[in-house]
Amino acid sequence: MADVHDKKTRSFNMSQIKAKNTKPEILVRQFLFSKGFRFRLHDKKLPGKPDIVLPKHHTVINVHGCFWHGHTGCRYYVVPKTRTDWWLTKIGRNKQLDRINSGRLSREGWEVLKVYECELLPHRREKTLRRILKSI
């Protein structure tokens, strides 16, 4: 199946996808800040550069996009119909790196929390934020 966009449009769309400071990530940061937590962002000294680092509580929070991290059973993770093998390899590698980095962080004594973007949709947000608060 051919792409529904021409090469220039697809390139522009892909260039607009951010790796840092995404809306779900900012939502979690605002919540934590409002509860009095102070944190670092994308600490390069830690494996995988976690999205949010709470040094005082020895906790890291990774906010994952459902598509990019292959959130199993999620309606927002749909395997593309074009270049399927390439996408499955890419997403599989992202999941593998997530496991490796989480393991390394755990061995270093960090509590690792994972939040998917679908968990921050309005109807699930409160429950997810309470879970984060309880885990810290």
Q: Where are the domains of the chain?
A: 23-135
pLDDT-based confidence at residue 67 (cuts at 50, 70, 90): very high
Q: Which residues pair with 42 in a beta bridge?
A: none
Q: Is 111 helix (H, G, I), strand (E, B) or coil?
A: strand
Q: What is the pTM of this model?
A: 0.85
Average pLDDT, rounded, for the chain: 90
Token pair of 44, please? 């390069």
pLDDT score of 123 more than 80: yes
User: What are the start-end ranges of the H helices in the chain?
Assistant: 7-15, 23-34, 84-107, 122-135
pLDDT score of 117 more than 80: yes
In this prediction, residue 11 carries a pLDDT of 67
Torsion angle (degrees, nearest 10) of CA 21, 26, 32, 38: 30
Looking at residues 1-28, what average pLDDT do you find? 75
Q: Is 78 helix (H, G, I), strand (E, B) or coil?
A: coil
pLDDT score of 55 more than 80: yes
- CATH 2.60.40.3080 assigned to 23-135: no
pLDDT-based confidence at residue 95 (cuts at 50, 70, 90): very high
Q: pLDDT of 22-48, one tens digit each?
A: 899 999 999 999 999 999 999 999 999
Residue 131 phi, psi (nearest 5): -60, -40
Contact in structure between 111 and 58 (CB atoms under 8 Å): yes
The percentage of the chain sitting over the pLDDT mark of 90, rounded to a whole number, equals 77
